Every structure is written in structure tokens, then in C-alpha cells.
């Protein structure tokens, strides 16, 4: 309403010409101290505070950019006073509210105030609420007891938490920071990471084991920060309600083989591979991958072994209850998708143990096997070096066609989505 009043125009009934009204005019400098005086247009103030308006002094002053006291002084000079509240009796007010509720049963406080303003009545909000309670008692009780159906929002792709979990593991098992800046940065990182996802719960046993063996004071500090954040996480998990209806898990030995051999081992080396290999090939890949893990475990230091433990626990927890939407069994969906967040931690585990098998293997076969795995990763680097080009878009043509539709008509837009989903809009 204020925007409409500010852009108020005066129309001459004879010439039908329209001329804008300046809201504020600034006087020329008088040579004295202080800012030049601001003078508010009298017609604007008369229109803003005419009977029936329900605008406060503060809102008008903020809209035109002056102080409320300055506005009050200008109004006093023009002899304009804010519209006083009406002295209508409760009986007459109830009669008006009742007549309006008969025509518009779902009308609320805002609609009632607008209805009263059309009759040049400015009534306090608390009086309108009391009148609604006296006139429409049954509807008031019904609205109070009615359950509000709210939309559920889900974020199934919080990928940043996985990178934050890796960074926490690297810092938890590394040397202590040398300066206060590094300590402050680590404290902030672990404080944020411990409350941003459940990975701290899975990482806590590994950090506690690291402190039990090494007895480093800084590790105890990290452990204390993580414990505080984990207590918040556990409280949130206990008191949260999961409403999403997920598809069945669909856990089978063959699907597990496709996930571990195809997505963790095979894709870590050659990039986005094909998990639909025959059972014999998947079995050979799984056996070779576990042999590399065993050789790397033997040559890896204690900190790397703790990370491997953390990665295995995270993978097991992910497979226990993956957050995937749709009707297909969730393990089948995981087995068909490459390069997703669930393979991030175990893929790093596999490649790091391959490095330790190459560098610290006790036999020549272990070192050569680890080196072969690292050489195969070059295939994945070359294959995944660049992203696929974006498909040809006809969005501008679709928008032009959408503008020609009539109100109520539907149109489906083609958007770039790996799941081949569409976007349907309704013209209003």
C-alpha cells in the first residue's frame, strides 16, 4: 500500500493528464549549521493518513526515508493527525464481523481488518480477535484442533559431510598443530564436523584408540570436542522422526559382490566402469582387491589402519540404510550407480592401501601388485578427465511457448537431469 501511495498521481478530470507527486522536497541550504530541511508533500500525507488507512507513523517514515519525529512535526504543521481508533461498540463490531463471516466463512483477522477499513473503521487487533472469538466460537475450536499438513523436505545429497569426514580423519591421526592458529582452525573444524553429520560417531572409536595408544594431549582435546558434538547428534537422532517411505533394501550376496568388486575396487581403478560383469570376473576382482588390502594393511602405519577401520564402518553403515528415493531395491540402485558419495571413503581406503602395498610391501609380488593397481588408475584419470558436454537446450523456446498458454494449462519442460525427470508448470 505504501508503494502505491508514494507513487500517487494527480489526474486532471478535464485534461486527463497525469503528473507525479513528489513525496519529499529539500529546501536550499540556508548557510546555517545542520542538514537542509526536508518537507513532505502535504497531499501525500493526507492520502496516507486519510480515514480508512491503517498505516503507522513508523512505516510511513521508513518508506520515505525520514525520522518519525520529523514526520510527526510535518503532520503537525499541516494540521494532519493519524486516524484514531474507532469507538465502535463491541455489539456493533460483532454484528459487522458476523455479517462478513456469513459471506466469507474462512476469513481471518487480516480479511476482517480490510473489511472494516472499507467502512472507514480502524479497530485494534485485540478487539478483532475478541470479536471473532465471540462470533465464531465453533470455527475457532475447529481451527485450533485441526492438524496442519506440512510438506516434508529431504536433502538426500549432503556430499560436503563426506569430505569433512575425511578431513577430520586426516587431522585426528596427524601430528599436533605447531601454532595457535592451527589449533584454533582444528577446534573449529572438529566442532563443526561433530554436529554436521553422523560420521563423528563412527570416527570416535578410532580416535579413542589412537589416544589410548599414543597418549597425545592434543588428541585428548580433539576427543573431548567430538564427544560434545556427538552428544548433540545422539540427542537429535533419538528425538527425530523419519517420515520418508523408502524402498526395500534388497540385500543379496550377488548385489554385495557387484558393489564391493564393481563399485569400490573396479571403479577406483578405471573410473566409471560397468558393474554388470559376469560373476566370475567380479569374483576375481574381489579376491584381488582383498589381497591388495591385506598386503597394504601389513605395511601401513597405525594411523592408516585406523582410517581403514573407519572407512569399513562407514561403508557398512551406509549399506545398512542408504538414503535413496524410488521404488527399486536400494542395493540394486547402488550397484548400478558409479561415482556417488557412498564409494568415496572406501575408494580412498583401497587406493591408499595400494600405495602402502607398493611402498611397504614385504614381498616383491605385493609391491608389483600394488603398483599395477596404481597404474590402472591412470585409465580412470584419462576417462574421467573431462565432463560430458551439456545437452542441447531449448529452454528459451519452451519459455516463449509457455507464455502463449492460457491460464490453467500445463506444460512439461525438458531439464538436464541424469534421472530423466521432467519439470511441469501450470500457467496462472
Q: Kindly state the average pLDDT of the residues 85-93.
A: 84
Q: Kindly tell me if the per-residue pLDDT of 151 is higher than 60.
A: no
| pLDDT computed for residue 11 by the predictor | 38
Strands 422-426 and 410-414: antiparallel
Question: How far is Cα 132 from Cα 67, in angstroms, rounded to an integer?
Answer: 36
Percentage of the residues of the chain whose pLDDT score is greater than 90 = 11
Question: How far is Cα 102 from Cα 104, in angstroms, rounded to an integer?
Answer: 6
Question: How far is Cα 300 from Cα 357, in angstroms, rounded to an integer?
Answer: 8
Taking every pair of Cα atoms in the chain, the longest distance, rounded to a whole number of angstroms, is 104
Q: What ranges in 29-136 are assigned the alpha helix state H?
A: 42-48, 57-64, 68-78, 90-103, 109-118, 125-135
Question: How far is Cα 128 from Cα 427, in angstroms, rounded to an integer?
Answer: 37
| pLDDT computed for residue 224 by the predictor | 92
Q: 170, 167, 173: which is closest to 189 by C-alpha?
A: 167
Q: Kindly tell me if the per-residue pLDDT of 318 is higher than 60.
A: yes
| pLDDT computed for residue 147 by the predictor | 55
Q: Kindly tell me if the per-residue pLDDT of 28 is higher than 80.
A: no
DSSP 178: S
Q: Kindly state the average pLDDT of the residues 240-244.
A: 60
| pLDDT computed for residue 4 by the predictor | 46
Q: What is the pTM of this model?
A: 0.57
| pLDDT computed for residue 12 by the predictor | 35
One DSSP character per residue, 398-417 reads: HHHHHHTSPTT-EEEEE---
Question: How far is Cα 96 from Cα 402, in angstroms, rounded to an integer?
Answer: 44
Q: Kindly tell me if the per-residue pLDDT of 181 is higher than 50.
A: yes
Lowest model confidence (mean pLDDT) among 18-27, 277-286, 365-374: 18-27
Phi, psi values for residue 38, rounded to 5°: -100, 130
| pLDDT computed for residue 243 by the predictor | 52
Q: Kindly tell me if the per-residue pLDDT of 325 is higher than 80.
A: no
Instruction: Identify the top-confidence range among 43-57, 115-129, 294-308, 393-407.
Output: 294-308
**Which residues are 425's β-sheet partners?**
411
Q: How would residue 10 be classed by pLDDT, with cut points 50, 70 and 90?
A: very low
Angle at 375 between CA 371 and CA 378, to 5 degrees: 155
Q: Kindly tell me if the per-residue pLDDT of 8 is higher than 50.
A: no
Q: What is the pLDDT of residues 254-276, one digit of tens each?
A: 889 988 888 888 888 887 766 56
E strands present in 142-203: none
Q: Kindly tell me if the per-residue pLDDT of 351 is higher than 50.
A: yes
| pLDDT computed for residue 58 by the predictor | 81
Dihedral sign for Cα atoms in the order 122, 125, 130, 131: positive
Question: How far is Cα 211 from Cα 151, in angstroms, rounded to an integer?
Answer: 45
Residues in the chain: 428
Q: Kindly tell me if the per-residue pLDDT of 336 is higher than 80.
A: yes
Q: Kindly state the average pLDDT of the residues 233-253.
A: 76
Q: Which residue do the cell numbers 573410473 mark?
A: 271
Question: How far is Cα 262 from Cα 268, in angstroms, rounded to an integer?
Answer: 9
Q: What is the pLDDT of residues 184-231, one digit of tens each?
A: 999 998 998 888 878 888 899 999 999 999 888 999 999 999 999 889
3-state helix, strand, coil in the chain (%, to 5): 60, 5, 35
Q: How would residue 30 be classed by pLDDT, with cut points 50, 70 and 90?
A: low
Q: How would residue 309 be classed by pLDDT, with cut points 50, 70 and 90?
A: very high
| pLDDT computed for residue 209 by the predictor | 92
Q: Kindly tell me if the per-residue pLDDT of 6 is higher than 60.
A: no
DSSP 419: T
Q: Kindly tell me if the per-residue pLDDT of 51 is higher than 70.
A: no
Which residues, in sequence order, are CB contacts of 159 under 8 Å at separation 6+?
341
* Mean pLDDT computed over every residue of the chain: 79
DSSP 52: T
Q: Which residue do the cell numbers 597405525 mark?
A: 302
Q: Kindly state the average pLDDT of the residues 2-25.
A: 45
Amino acid at each position: 500500500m505504501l508503494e502505491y501511495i508514494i507513487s500517487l498521481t494527480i489526474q486532471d478530470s478535464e485534461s486527463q493528464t497525469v503528473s507525479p507527486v513528489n513525496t519529499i522536497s529539500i529546501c536550499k541550504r540556508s548557510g546555517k549549521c545542520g542538514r537542509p530541511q526536508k518537507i513532505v508533500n502535504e497531499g501525500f500525507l493526507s492520502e496516507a493518513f486519510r480515514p480508512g488507512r491503517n498505516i503507522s507513523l513508523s512505516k510511513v517514515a521508513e518508506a520515505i526515508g525520514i525520522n518519525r519525529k520529523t514526520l510527526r512535526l510535518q503532520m503537525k504543521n499541516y494540521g494532519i493527525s493519524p486516524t484514531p481508533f474507532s469507538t465502535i461498540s463491541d455489539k456493533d463490531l460483532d454484528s459487522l464481523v458476523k455479517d462478513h463471516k456469513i459471506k466469507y466463512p474462512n476469513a481471518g483477522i487480516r480479511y476482517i481488518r480490510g473489511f472494516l477499513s472499507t467502512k472507514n473503521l480502524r479497530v485494534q487487533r485485540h478487539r478483532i480477535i475478541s470479536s471473532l472469538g465471540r462470533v465464531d466460537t465453533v470455527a475457532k475450536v475447529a481451527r485450533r484442533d485441526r492438524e496442519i499438513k506440512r510438506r516434508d523436505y529431504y536433502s538426500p545429497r549432503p556430499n560436503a559431510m563426506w569430505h569433512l569426514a575425511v578431513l577430520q580423519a586426516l587431522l585426528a591421526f596427524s601430528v599436533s598443530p605447531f601454532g595457535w592458529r592451527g589449533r584454533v582452525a582444528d577446534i573449529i573444524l572438529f566442532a563443526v564436523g561433530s554436529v554436521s553429520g553422523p560420521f563423528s560417531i563412527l570416527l570416535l572409536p578410532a580416535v579413542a584408540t589412537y589416544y589410548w595408544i599414543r597418549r597425545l594431549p592434543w588428541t585428548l582435546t580433539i576427543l573431548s570436542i567430538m564427544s560434545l558434538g556427538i552428544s548433540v547428534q545422539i540427542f537429535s537422532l533419538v528425538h527425530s522422526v523419519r517420515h520418508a517411505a523408502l524402498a526395500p533394501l534388497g540385500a543379496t550376496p550377488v548385489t554385495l559382490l557387484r558393489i564391493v568388486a564393481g563399485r569400490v575396487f573396479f571403479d577406483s581403478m578405471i573410473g566409471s566402469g560397468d558393474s554388470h560383469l559376469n560373476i566370475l570376473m567380479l569374483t576375481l576382482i574381489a579376491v584381488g582387491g582383498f589381497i591388495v588390502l591385506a598386503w597394504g594393511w601389513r605395511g601401513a602405519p597405525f594411523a592408516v589402519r585406523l582410517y581403514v577401520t573407519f572407512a569399513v564402518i562407514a561403508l557398512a553403515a551406509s549399506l545398512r540404510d542408504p538414503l535413496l528415493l524410488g521404488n527399486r531395491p536400494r542395493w540394486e540402485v547402488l550397484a548400478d550407480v558409479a561415482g556417488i558419495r557412498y564409494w568415496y571413503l572406501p575408494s580412498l581406503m583401497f587406493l591408499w592401501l595400494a600405495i602402502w602395498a607398493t611402498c611397504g610391501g614385504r614381498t616383491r609380488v605385493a609391491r608389483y601388485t600394488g603398483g599395477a593397481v596404481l597404474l590402472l588408475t591412470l585409465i580412470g584419470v584419462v576417462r574421467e578427465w573431462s565432463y560430458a558436454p551439456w545437452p542441447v537446450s531449448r529452454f528459451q523456446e519452451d519459455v516463449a511457448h509457455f507464455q502463449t498458454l492460457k491460464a490453467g494449462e500445463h506444460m512439461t519442460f525438458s531439464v538436464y537431469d541424469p534421472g530423466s525427470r521432467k519439470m511441469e508448470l501450470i500457467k496462472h
